Structure 1
């Protein structure tokens, strides 16, 4: 433990999903006052209520994820398109909108979006709708970074092949589909959630003070 987040008040959304458990472990070890939230943020007003309950927020980790079934685009439905946007993009925007007034007033704050490699690098397998929701996160972040600089830093990770219960459940990891997909990864292993969380920690901590609108791939070499 280095204590680089000592006393910093941090909201982590969807704490049980995606990289949430790893972020909880790493951030608590680094001394953060962590509000690991698992409430349903898809409802209008839920983000504002969460920020009101927490009060002062130094850092927002916008970790939004939902499981999905890869589906060919010609077989996809409007309901699934709306579900992915409602669970991945809309609550992220609402959380950011809710914390920004206090950060802008203080002229200080960090926002980190845990996004996906699918936002910046395509792949086959019926993931276009999911990639679109993740791409919306990144497009939003790139433009917002210009509005917030120099006082508030907003950046993102673009992760893939991080061992997590949302996208790599045990039954999937034992499947032939996973073995075929995994063969493409230069690292030849899954990363742990804690490894990924250390990249999130970098973007949340003081070392990233000169970073605005950056996307850091965390994908075992697959982004190269």
Structure 2
């Protein structure tokens, strides 16, 4: 039986971070030719090289992570931390998409999936830089998604929170009683999502069943942000 990604080439950025490992596993399991890139994406040239080296790309998964500096008051936020958050989450997004889109537009087929965050969908204090950068990702995807839809290229974002991953939920946090109580209080489902549940949504957005999804930020947070 043919798997869902058979014959597809999938580029996953920062594949060792955030939701990269789960997506690599899911798309490989589904028969995709997965390019698991681990490059630093801190310059325009580096982003262009990743796209050029990958060659033909059917699906681009823009997976980016950054420290969230949670708990820091906006008046105490260091300038370098503000700038670094945008350097890690926003600028690479534009650079990767800019270089990946032309071949997709030319052949009138392609999928771009951004692994984002639900934090901009629900106001949270002491999270200004991260919320702003993740919010910029959402606005970017909405604009670009509408722009390229006429070319039969779909650009969407997974607005996630409360999903198991080493970047934001390390093992030691999962043993913290205060965190576990907060999890049950904040998330209607009362648990974290499994990485494979999140990757399954990315898989759906990469398939033909999602062709009518355009520029959407889809909440994936167990009811925390709807």
> With structure 1 as the length reference, what TM-score do the two structures score?
0.95
Partner of 1:120: 121
Runs (4+) of structure 1 exceeding 3 A deviation are none
Pairs within 5 Å for 1:6-17: 6-17=6-17
CA distance in 1, matches of 2:172, 2:67: 14
Paired residues of 1:18 and 1:63 also in contact (CA < 8 A)? yes
Which residue of the other structure, out of 189, 199, 211, is the alignment partner of 1:209? 211
Deviation at 1:221, TM superposition (A): 1.1
Residues 2, 78 of structure 1: CA spacing in aligned structure 2 closer, same or farther, 3 A cutoff? farther
2:84 equivalent to 1:88: no
What do the CA deviations read for 1:93-127 (whole angstroms, capped 9, x no partner)? 11101101111111110000111001222223x11
CA distance in 2, matches of 1:51, 1:17: 18
Pairs within 5 Å for 1:189-204: 189-204=191-206
CA distance in 1, matches of 2:120, 2:206: 21
Pairs within 5 Å for 1:35-114: 35-70=35-70, 71-114=72-115
CA distance in 2, matches of 1:116, 1:46: 24
Paired residues of 2:69 and 2:130 also in contact (CA < 8 A)? no
Unaligned runs of 5+ in 2: none
Paired residues of 1:149 and 1:212 also in contact (CA < 8 A)? yes
Partner of 1:129: 129
Paired residues of 1:15 and 1:36 also in contact (CA < 8 A)? yes
Partner of 1:18: 18
CA distance in 1, matches of 2:213, 2:157: 10
Deviation at 1:67, TM superposition (A): 2.7
Unaligned runs of 5+ in 1: none
CA distance in 2, matches of 1:42, 1:176: 37
Structure 2 residue matching 1:97: 3-state secondary structure: helix
Structure 2 residue matching 1:210: 3-state secondary structure: coil
Structure 2 residue matching 1:45: 3-state secondary structure: helix
Paired residues of 1:17 and 1:66 also in contact (CA < 8 A)? no
Aligned residue pairs total: 223
Structure 2 residue matching 1:104: 3-state secondary structure: helix
CA distance in 2, matches of 1:120, 1:14: 24
Paired residues of 2:156 and 2:216 also in contact (CA < 8 A)? yes
What do the CA deviations read for 1:134-181 (whole angstroms, capped 9, x no partner)? 000000111111210131100111001001000001122223552353
Partner of 1:162: 163
CA distance in 1, matches of 2:178, 2:11: 35
> With structure 2 as the length reference, what TM-score do the two structures score?
0.94
Paired residues of 2:51 and 2:100 also in contact (CA < 8 A)? yes
